[in-house]
């Protein structure tokens, strides 16, 4: 009787081990990290690095731009500025889980209407500090971008108007 139980136990353990091994083989360890649970965008679909980051949050070297704050879904599914400020950058969107309307972030609006200098805009994007020195809502991610990436994004914001 005891021997039978051991056989059952070993069979169950072998099944569980096989199941885990098959899953890891199929999905890779990466799939267990929510941060990587999305498909990388294709660089060929974007005309510039700035546009690609704006639309997807991934640069043309295939690196996802790290950020702090921002809603949980952004960590899980990825996304760029367009996910919250719209493809045209005009904002007016209530991003999921945020309860706040996004502002227009076209360069001319930030610069001419809000009087933000290039440095002010960079500070908003990377440190979450608004045009009057106030801390922006935590819905706005604080993006850790290289100088080249941030300059490319600013160029794209200029193209939007």
Question: In the complex, which residues of this chain contact ligand HEC (CB under 6 A)?
Answer: 70-71, 74, 79-81, 83-85, 95, 98, 100, 102-103, 105, 110, 114, 121, 124-125, 130-131, 136-137, 139-141, 143, 153
158 vs 108: CA distance, rounded Å: 7
73 vs 76: CA distance, rounded Å: 5
Min dist CB 10 to ligand HEC, Å, is 50
Contacts of 38 (CB under 8 A, 6+ apart): 76, 77, 78
Q: Closer to ligand HEC at the Cβ: 36 or 138?
A: 138
Cβ–Cβ under 8 Å, residues 158 and 56: no
Q: Closer to ligand HEC at the Cβ: 41 or 139?
A: 139
Q: Closer to ligand HEC at the Cβ: 29 or 154?
A: 154
């Amino acid at each position: 009787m005891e021997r039978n139980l051991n056989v059952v136990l070993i069979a169950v353990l072998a099944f569980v081990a096989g199941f885990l091994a098959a899953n890891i083989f199929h999905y890779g360890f990466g799939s267990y990290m929510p941060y990587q649970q999305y498909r990388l965008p294709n660089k060929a679909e974007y005309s510039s690095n700035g546009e690609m980051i704006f639309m997807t949050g991934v640069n043309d070297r295939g690196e996802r731009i790290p950020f702090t704050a921002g809603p949980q879904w952004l960590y899980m599914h990825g996304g760029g500025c367009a996910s919250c400020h719209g493809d045209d950058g005009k904002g007016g969107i209530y991003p999921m889980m945020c309860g706040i309307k996004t502002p227009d972030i076209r360069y001319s609006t930030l610069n001419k209407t809000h009087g933000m200098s290039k440095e002010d805009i960079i500070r908003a994007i990377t440190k979450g500090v608004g045009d009057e020195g106030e801390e922006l809502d935590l819905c706005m991610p604080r993006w850790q971008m290289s100088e080249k990436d941030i300059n490319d994004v600013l160029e794209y914001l200029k193209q939007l108007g």
